[in-house]
Amino acid sequence: MTFHRLFSGAALVSKVGSRSVFTSSKPDTANPNWLRVGLAFGTSALLWGLLFKQHSTDVHEYKVRNDLE
């Protein structure tokens, strides 16, 4: 038996026969954790805002350096 076969068989058993160590219970989809949802969307909105602000700054600097403005 080769190492590759042994490893792939062990990986298959570990995926099928056990639960994740990090999940103690199944998530309740009927009652989401609104704090975590809000933090996720808020963080995403903040990062997009910073991205657009940085882009505007970069475009302005480009125009100033190339005498376009």
> If the chain, 69 residues long, is cut into consecutive pieces of 10 residues, what is the mean pLDDT of each piece?
57 58 78 96 98 98 94
pLDDT of residue 14: 54
pLDDT of residue 28: 84
Residues 10 and 52: their CA atoms lie apart, in Å, by 47
Residues 35 and 28: their CA atoms lie apart, in Å, by 14
pLDDT of residue 39: 98
pLDDT of residue 5: 59
pTM attached to this predicted model:
0.57
